[in-house]
Amino acid sequence: MANRTIIPFGPQHPVLPEPIHLDLVLEDEKVVDAIPKIGYVHRGLEQLAEKRDFNDYLYVIERTCGICSFMHGMGYVEAMERIFDTEIPDRAKYLRTIWAEMSRVHSHLLWLGLLADAFGFEALFYQTWRLREQILDMFEESTGGRVIFSVNKIGGVLKDMPKEMLQKFVRNFDGMEKELKKLTNVFLNDYTVQSRLKGVGMLSPQDAVYLGAAGPMMRASGIKIDTRTLGYAAYSDIDFDIITSKECDCYARCDVRIQEIFQSFHIIRQAVNKIPDGEISVAVKGNPNGEAFMRVEQPRGEAIYYCRANGTKFLDRVRVRTPTFTNLMPLLHTLKGCELADVPLLILTIDPCISCTER
Amino acid sequence: MAGLMKFTGLALRNLFSKPATQNYPVVPREYPERSRGSVQNDIDQCIFCGSCQRKCPSGAITVDRAARTWTIDRMGCVQCENCVNNCPKNCLKMDTHYSEPSAEKTVVTLHSEPPAAPEKPKFTPEQIEAMKKAAAAKKAAAAAKAEE
Ligand code: SF4
Ligand code: SF4
């Protein structure tokens, strides 16, 4: 047996947007084991539910993560709407859908940029993030925030998007789609990129299920599950495909996310065409009592929200299960047996969001 | 080698197109109308009810009713707009511009003087005399009317 070395990886590492630590056990250049350690960005956001009015807590839970902030807010308000047993106006549902899909595009573009950065293709990284900047501008124009949107409320949304704005966004997305096609040609067909992604980090469909992979990580292993099919927000009225791939490697994960961006454009266009006129929120009165679960499909996979209320304005418990947390086990599995040089890439392909994981 | 040089077209285009970034601060940044920059208070309208303080999830606002001051910790504020949406007097508003960067924690305190009590009208002795006479005349007239 070759000598074993332990190499600490993280919490500060150029490839990591957020802190996670791995002890990599190496035999020569081969990783034989990886021991993770999390807990660097724990902020106790769940506990704050006991100290903040349930309406104001929305602004806390949104800040769980800077990428899917909209989805976190939406998951929480939809759970609370279940407790209150309120039906929100249709227009609010569509607006939520549009913002949620814009978040997905934004998140996947961010990830593509990081991926390019991880395999050392700086120019591609900048190109991707330039595209993402347009989405951030659209967010700022429609919600007032570039990262944290604060447009949800229990019972609907706070801001409307007028027709002209929606049409302008659709035109922007048409332009972005053209640009993105050129970029994805590089991601999917470039020889250098393929040499880094193909056949790396295999995760078989059985393992994906057994280890509880979520989101694109799971769909890239051919498992066709997408929480959007449950039909929260306006998804029940909208046609979309669940993107899967049979390749099971890093290339497949990249491919799935890219196709999901195009699907999101498709969903946004449909939503803009179908959006009904009318109110954007209903008043919700009194204090909540009871408990509810809500599942939403975040860019990284399925997130679960659980809220329990006791009839006062403070909640007893809020629990969030985030997709990155469940994706850690498949990550450790794919790390075993890989080359040391592939470790950053493998960590990135789960699209880690450590802030979500630790809250 | 079909997979090679996929990026060349994009790279060449970038070489001959203008920069994607903006020449800040020569070209100032234009904020969209809805942009949440910083909270401003029209302090003369404020009634110091403390609703904004209770609604602020980050505890950035302190309202002192007795001293009539409204204080905001600029760096504690997370621009959620919750205070603006819950102010009964609508005196809070969200400015599109962010607050100035600073090496120290910026705390802004606004104070308003209590509204002046309505002034008592002042009369000269002659006016008072005239008023007394008028009152007496009225009384006499009323008495005369009653006798009729
Ligand atoms: S909520 Fe409005 S009126 Fe009340 S203290 Fe705050 S700023 Fe003043
Ligand atoms: S915008 Fe939000 S964080 Fe800032 S002062 Fe108002 S309530 Fe507090």
Question: CA of A123: how far to CAs of A114, A127, A191, in Å?
Answer: 11, 6, 16
- In chain B, what residues touch A189 (CB-CB under 8 Å)? 2-3, 6
A 146-165 residues with CB < 8 A to B? 148, 150, 158-159
Cα distance between residue A183 and residue A255, in whole Å: 12
The full set of domain ranges for chain A reads 4-358
Residue B9 has pLDDT above 80, yes or no: no
pLDDT the model gives residue A163: 86
Q: Is B79 in the pocket of ligand 2 (CB under 6 A)?
A: yes
What is the pairing mode between strands B107-111 and B69-73? antiparallel
% of chain A at pLDDT higher than 70: 99
User: Would you call B7 and A186 a contact, using CB atoms and an 8 Å cutoff?
Assistant: yes
Reported as a single tens digit per residue, the pLDDT across A178-211 is: 888 888 888 888 777 788 778 787 888 888 888 8
- In chain A, what residues touch B81 (CB-CB under 8 Å)? 144, 150, 158
Number of domains in chain B: 1
Give the residue on B whose Cα is nearest the Cα of A189. Answer: B3
pLDDT the model gives residue B121: 67
Reported as a single tens digit per residue, the pLDDT across A79-97 is: 888 888 888 888 888 888 9
pTM score of the predicted model:
0.82
Reported as a single tens digit per residue, the pLDDT across A227-255 is: 888 878 778 888 888 888 888 888 888 88
Atom of ligand 2 nearest to the CA of B52: 7
Handedness of CA B112, B118, B123, B127 (dihedral sign): positive
**Given pLDDT bands bounded at 50, 70 and 90, which one contains residue B118?**
low
Asked whether residue B42 is domain-assigned, the answer is yes
A189 touches chain B (CB under 8 A): yes
Class of domain A4-358: mainly alpha
pLDDT the model gives residue B65: 83
Residue A15 has pLDDT above 60, yes or no: yes
Asked whether residue B107 is domain-assigned, the answer is yes
Angle between helix A163-189 and A90-118 (nearest 10)? 30
Closest CB to A182: pick one of B2, B10, B32: B10
Q: Which of A286, A289, A291, A321 has its CA nearest to residue A308?
A: A291
With b for 16 or more beta-carbon neighbours within 10 A and e for fewer, the B61-70 pattern comes to bbbeeeebbb
- The answer to whether the complex's ipTM is over 0.85 is no
pLDDT the model gives residue B117: 64
Asked whether residue B143 is domain-assigned, the answer is no
Task: For chain A, give the mean pLDDT.
Answer: 85
Q: In 3-state terms, what secondary structure has residue B62?
A: strand
Residue B1 has pLDDT above 70, yes or no: no
Cα distance between residue A152 and residue A281, in whole Å: 10
Residue A135 has pLDDT above 80, yes or no: yes
Give the residue on B whose Cα is nearest the Cα of A144. Answer: B35
Closest CB to A127: pick one of B10, B56, B80: B10
Amino acid letter at B84?
A: V
Shortest-distance ligand to the CA of residue B89: 1
Return the beta strands (E) in A61-153 as ranges: 152-153
Q: Which of A150, A152, A178, A194 to mutate to test the interface with B (most CBs of B within 10 A)?
A: A150
Q: Which of A93, A72, A71 has its CA nearest to residue A234?
A: A93
pLDDT the model gives residue A335: 85
pLDDT the model gives residue A1: 60
Reported as a single tens digit per residue, the pLDDT across A213-226 is: 888 888 888 888 88
Q: Which domain holds residue B58?
A: 38-112
Residue A343 has pLDDT above 60, yes or no: yes
> What CATH number is associated with residue B58?
3.30.70.3270
The residue written with tokens 């120290």 in the block is B104
Cα distance between residue A279 and residue A67, in whole Å: 28
